[in-house]
Structure 1
């Protein structure tokens, strides 16, 4: 009733601002007379998701807040089809990816900047303004001269709206693979104009408040979801008392503040109260509040704006506690102090005094703090009225200030990791065959990794002169890769070396190695590509700082004995051959030494390029082994050897390995391996050389070595030493 009456009266006297102030005073009166329920204030949003409903008001925001926003424009899903060869040992697949472009309105008041963005509870944009998935983002502050977004203009043409006086965000081709190929539930951290960590009443009610005193203590953000302005002010007044001041400058509103230096002591009462015999006329004090406000719900800044609750100090009453909802951003300490002050005011509420003086001091106006000559405490002037016998002031007792600063804890929270998007680390390599795939097809892989798990993958391309040809994507699984920190000594690659070790530094945190046993080594476990050599290890020891010592080595695996014989220098690339490698289709990526692979990820400032290492390794025949020399009667030499096959890691006893190549053929040479003096082609693993032939070779070319290579379908093996003629 008082709300309706005083709203009409205030509008008649002071216009719209007067009506707002009248409604605020009326709400205060109604609350004092009729009381309230166990839950007061506007309900907090539980970080609701973005909507797209007609007729929904766009909230006004002040300070810093986390808001869901309203989708105001969107395109259909954009489908992309891509054929991608499976990971190591897996078949090729056709993958479909989806993206979308859309705009989300955030506030009907201007915003200074945009902070973090959450999608389905995970960070989509971090504190460093880095987008965690592929796509582009544009932010419009909400001024009256914001331009039309070019993407919306391209879609709508001449009818494209500019959404001026509305702060909004435009997402362009945002990848939706991480969100189930749908637009995710979004929420945004926003910072309003006029103060990123404070709320000013002057911005809420232009012209009704001014000066630094109009800033609300402890409020770091506030959301006004619409409705009468008086309702918003009444909500704030419940927690932070407001005063309405009528002066020569018109009607003004300000937070009630107590400045000790400005407290005036009133003169003595003009006329003693005949009825009470006291100087205080009509002194009243109400009984303690029936339901003292005990708890405050708010948006906790320390918990990523999740709703939090702080309870006031003091005795607890039986039954349901009175909870007040304040749609504001607060710290836990600030919320605790506001809750304590609200409870203290409730205990001292309605202690009033009417005090009549002869002359009104210009400093004595509603909202001023005064002292009484015969009473303790501080009083606020709530109103004054002229009478024939003087000026009568209505005074309201100020609750005592809390002397101790309360400290509170917002509680434990598990915020999503906000790590800056790391750049992509890329290697392209050809590896020896494992016997499970087509031996005629080269085994090409891309090893992609990054410094930490915040990496979201990268698009892969074939770099061909000045253009990039898409060949797939890396996925988000990081390859275990790094570099040697110490030289790796040469090895004969004949026996297991239990004491040999290598020291490697990985490219990022969270990557590791695992131990295995002899059976695991026999089955091909723990294979590393160190430069051009395949090395197996049995034990892995973490040394910290991304460094590992790998011990118990099998060298020169997969026919890489020649690379093991030369050893490796520090900073040689080390890559674990496991399922994290991305298979490359030879139809798209030629197995040539000039081939280059490119990667572009969200955290890459520029294109990452890698040249193909070890081209031809997977289809190169393995060098023969077990050379034997037998001298037959007549001093004739019979040279024999044993062939090996590509991809046959396990060499079963008494079992002939498959040929793999199209035909069995060998090249026997005398002299340098690259340019022999004499060469013979044979179709079986044996070669005979008579005494006269040996003598002729020595007399013609001098002393030299005899060696043999296996000739495969796609190349020749390294040479195997057979004998030396001298």
Structure 2
């Protein structure tokens, strides 16, 4: 590592005559660059968390880094309560949630933008700028014309600072429910500049010009936590060796690894019999340090491929026995580049163990501090690292340069449990009422909300009942998305009597990561693969993926759960499709009331998403009777009968009487319009007897009309079953 002290460089360049001028020039650079007093350079640390301590330095960031920042303003926690449950003898629960607003200082120089934000190790803000939790974020990039934040200004009034020259961000009403109702520990991805880190951007303002000729290739980020610029240069010099020259009127920082095309050749060594220094006769003396502990074994850095977590790459790819030194470099690198830099640093340190003292009668004015030279009678290249003027000549201290490039090996950043960054997308909502399945109270509607989104970054939504234009809270959807889509092709009608093996229909799902499973016939019998297409419940056994979002379904059981009436109507392309799994959320009937629509608001929804409830009344409507029969008796009368079904009886069990699940067994038999029949009978048994005169009267007055039956329930009547057509 080079010792950067420009006053000494100035004296060496100025020589005996110009030493005073050179020292003054060097002192000027020292004051601007090196500062005074104690010096502490940047250090590599494990990922820290946001603090709010007075006196904490605000770092200067370059390139792309990850930093915790410092809280510079905050409000008290704001409490919000939400009551759930209650009604019909059930206890109610009140849930308290909290939010907070605060500002975090990020950088003491202007930045370009903020990328991702982590809260308690999880993504709070994605690379696309989307917040994963409720709240609002405002970014101030630290320019000289930035205005005070309106929220802070409203709280502090006329004393509100604009924090010009300081990059910071403001969180307004950040929801804390997912963080244990406390401000989480935050770290920020700072995008300070475009491209790799530039040393010229790090230069402080000086009265004299500076010429930076040292690129920092592959260095993607670097932070200065305080201290002098010279201390930062000293840290960088370990990995990117520097040549600093303050000759003339400006400062030049160059690449110590660069070897000129034709390095100058030193003159022959000069003897000095009167000298008490080295090699008075030969004028040269070589040395080689035996201690290997100064050769760096590897480098610790911030690995960009692992979300800037600390990484370690060893020179040559493997550890050596015994003690070793690891370079602590607070820079953001990829693993391959970090290993390459570690190997180069070890190679330089290994060759630099060989040094050479060389006496010349006079110094060539073309030689400069740190210049690469050739030595008579010795192979390779040498760098001038020190000289001393004496009465008999100039004594040079030379250091051996690497003989060739360092050995390159394949690097691996290792595994890391990084948080996936999934973009949140708007909520898509479907709502529907299903026939009662026999579970829970028979008098309670079974209404479900199928909330979903096109990506897995969706974090759920709040659900509301729509009541005369207003929204009443009824719960949360949860984070699990419902599998929804629509028909891509037409679904033909069916009598819903047998397993339909000949029908195929294509379904386009909302998201590419949705899956439709297959099922066996035995699985269908147990209720597998239920789906709602329009208002018809179906089951499918076969599901074949055609592309990312399109599936082909076949082997159907149609009209399940008493929806066979809807199976008789064709379903055109575009009809909604909902998989009836565990994802749809059952809604509280007491809170839903008489609402016929449901609304949802998610994290990125600008306005509430409203969905009308499909299948209204299906839970309380009795199932249509089945198996109509007509018997002509010996006396000429007609006996009509049917088989009853009941709400909640989705399974058909042989040898078991179907339960009524109504207060009484009642049927309405009619002719003509089912809403207002021309002739009607009310019976309490699943049969009706028509005498010969009665049937002859019907034939004369209602020939060609349909005689039907409906089961009458507590809240509604079933669909009509066709018994016969009068002829």
Q: Could you tell which deviates more after superposition, 90-99 or 394-403?
A: 90-99
Alignment CA distance shift 1:686-1:267 (3 Å): closer
Q: CA deviation at 1:201?
A: 4.8
| 1:33 match | none
Q: 1:526 aligns with which of 509, 525, 529?
A: 529
Structure 2 distance, partners of 1:699, 1:242, is 113
Q: 1:302 aligns with which of 281, 300, 305?
A: 305
Alignment CA distance shift 1:493-1:67 (3 Å): same
Alignment CA distance shift 1:316-1:482 (3 Å): closer
| 2:117 match | 117
Structure 1 distance, partners of 2:484, 2:692, is 54
Q: How does 1:628-639 map to 2 (within 5 A)?
A: 628-632=629-633, 634-639=635-640
Is 1:77–2:81 an aligned residue pair? Answer: no
Alignment CA distance shift 1:463-1:282 (3 Å): farther
Q: CA deviation at 1:114?
A: 0.9
Q: CA deviation at 1:4?
A: 13
| 1:694 match | 695
Structure 1 distance, partners of 2:325, 2:423, is 43
1:97-155 alpha-carbon deviations (Å, 9 max, x no partner): 43332222222222211111222333222222222222211111123433222222233
Checking the alignment, whether the CA contact within 8 Å between 1:201 and 1:209 is kept in structure 2 is: no
Q: CA deviation at 1:406?
A: 5.1
Q: How does 1:184-263 map to 2 (within 5 A)?
A: 184-193=184-193, 195-207=194-206, 210-250=210-250, 253-256=253-256, 258=258, 260-261=260-261
| 2:582 match | 579
Q: CA deviation at 1:666?
A: 2.7
Alignment CA distance shift 1:532-1:396 (3 Å): same
Q: Secondary structure at the match of 2:349?
A: helix
Checking the alignment, whether the CA contact within 8 Å between 1:8 and 1:22 is kept in structure 2 is: no
1:427-456 alpha-carbon deviations (Å, 9 max, x no partner): 111111112233333221110122342221
| 1:47 match | 47
Structure 2 distance, partners of 1:269, 1:656, is 118
Checking the alignment, whether the CA contact within 8 Å between 2:42 and 2:223 is kept in structure 1 is: no
Q: CA deviation at 1:254?
A: 4.5
Structure 2 distance, partners of 1:181, 1:264, is 66
Structure 1 distance, partners of 2:497, 2:690, is 28
Q: Secondary structure at the match of 1:600?
A: strand
Structure 2 distance, partners of 1:52, 1:278, is 63
Q: Secondary structure at the match of 2:668?
A: strand
Alignment CA distance shift 1:202-1:168 (3 Å): closer
Q: Secondary structure at the match of 1:722?
A: strand
Q: How does 1:172-187 map to 2 (within 5 A)?
A: 172-187=172-187
Q: Secondary structure at the match of 1:265?
A: coil
| 2:133 match | 133
Structure 2 distance, partners of 1:399, 1:70, is 44
Q: Secondary structure at the match of 2:425?
A: coil
Checking the alignment, whether the CA contact within 8 Å between 1:202 and 1:209 is kept in structure 2 is: no
Structure 1 distance, partners of 2:368, 2:322, is 41
Checking the alignment, whether the CA contact within 8 Å between 1:52 and 1:71 is kept in structure 2 is: yes
Alignment CA distance shift 1:270-1:513 (3 Å): closer
Is 1:364–2:367 an aligned residue pair? Answer: yes
Q: CA deviation at 1:311?
A: 1.7
Is 1:454–2:457 an aligned residue pair? Answer: yes
Q: Could you tell which deviates more after superposition, 212-221 or 712-721?
A: 212-221
| 1:719 match | 720
| 1:351 match | 355
Q: Could you tell which deviates more after superposition, 321-330 or 195-204?
A: 195-204
| 2:672 match | 671
Alignment CA distance shift 1:527-1:94 (3 Å): farther
Residues paired across the two proteins, number: 704
Q: Secondary structure at the match of 1:364?
A: coil
Q: Secondary structure at the match of 2:697?
A: helix
Structure 2 distance, partners of 1:356, 1:465, is 99
| 1:157 match | 157
Q: Could you tell which deviates more after superposition, 153-162 or 442-451?
A: 153-162
| 2:17 match | none
Q: Could you tell which deviates more after superposition, 145-154 or 547-556?
A: 547-556
Q: CA deviation at 1:313?
A: 3.0
Structure 1 distance, partners of 2:436, 2:230, is 77
Checking the alignment, whether the CA contact within 8 Å between 2:7 and 2:27 is kept in structure 1 is: no
Checking the alignment, whether the CA contact within 8 Å between 1:105 and 1:168 is kept in structure 2 is: yes
Checking the alignment, whether the CA contact within 8 Å between 1:531 and 1:572 is kept in structure 2 is: yes
| 1:710 match | 711
Checking the alignment, whether the CA contact within 8 Å between 1:216 and 1:255 is kept in structure 2 is: no
- How big is the alpha-carbon RMSD for the aligned residues of Structure 1 and Structure 2? 3.9
Checking the alignment, whether the CA contact within 8 Å between 2:211 and 2:253 is kept in structure 1 is: no
Q: CA deviation at 1:18?
A: 1.4
| 1:285 match | 287
Q: Secondary structure at the match of 1:100?
A: strand
| 1:64 match | 64
Structure 2 distance, partners of 1:142, 1:394, is 47
5+ long unaligned stretches in structure 2: 11-22
1:203-244 alpha-carbon deviations (Å, 9 max, x no partner): 244338734514334322212222454433322223323333
Structure 1 distance, partners of 2:135, 2:5, is 55
Checking the alignment, whether the CA contact within 8 Å between 1:6 and 1:23 is kept in structure 2 is: no
Checking the alignment, whether the CA contact within 8 Å between 2:42 and 2:226 is kept in structure 1 is: no
Structure 2 distance, partners of 1:215, 1:304, is 24
5+ long unaligned stretches in structure 1: 28-39
Q: Secondary structure at the match of 2:438?
A: coil
Is 1:422–2:425 an aligned residue pair? Answer: yes
Q: CA deviation at 1:353?
A: 4.1
Checking the alignment, whether the CA contact within 8 Å between 1:74 and 1:102 is kept in structure 2 is: yes
| 1:18 match | 30
Checking the alignment, whether the CA contact within 8 Å between 1:201 and 1:254 is kept in structure 2 is: no
Q: Secondary structure at the match of 1:644?
A: coil
1:5-26 alpha-carbon deviations (Å, 9 max, x no partner): 99999998755741577799x9
Q: CA deviation at 1:343?
A: 1.6
Alignment CA distance shift 1:715-1:610 (3 Å): same
Alignment CA distance shift 1:519-1:82 (3 Å): farther
* Alignment TM-score, normalising by the size of structure 1: 0.85
Structure 2 distance, partners of 1:665, 1:5, is 104
Checking the alignment, whether the CA contact within 8 Å between 2:357 and 2:395 is kept in structure 1 is: no
Q: CA deviation at 1:720?
A: 0.6
Q: CA deviation at 1:410?
A: 2.3
